[in-house]
Structure 1
Amino acid sequence: MSVRKFPLTLRVAVTGATPDEIREAAVAQALAFFGSSTELDIISAEAEPEGEHHSRYRAVVVFRKVA
């Protein structure tokens, strides 16, 4: 049996100075991948300080297309 459709998640890594900046960058990447009119679920999101740049944060966000 061949399965051609299955749930696919996308993990994006972004940086930003604020939560809003991080959200915007992550959503932009997810929409570029899944399609601009796609409804998305956010599976997880984690942010941490970006090394020596205490005013910048690195985040990993995992998206899935709403079925």
Structure 2
Amino acid sequence: MSDTGGKDGIWKNFRAEEAVTAAIDLYGPQAATAAAYCALDAWTEARSDDYKFWFGVFSKLRDRRTT
């Protein structure tokens, strides 16, 4: 997987915790699903840094839901 995120990658503009809060505000109980779709989109477009960012957001959201 290549890194094509470049300077426009969202992971360079936000911390994962900020994205977690924004996802919860926007998507409520579906926030983890929304983050998973973002990660999948980044994966299929070979944007490895964006994928890592969104997978981290997904993981944090999933962990919050189960605790």
Bigger fraction of residues in helix: 2
Greater Rg over alpha carbons, structure: 1
Bigger fraction of residues in strand: 1
Does TM, normalized by the shorter one, top 0.5? Answer: no
TM-score, normalised on structure 1? 0.31
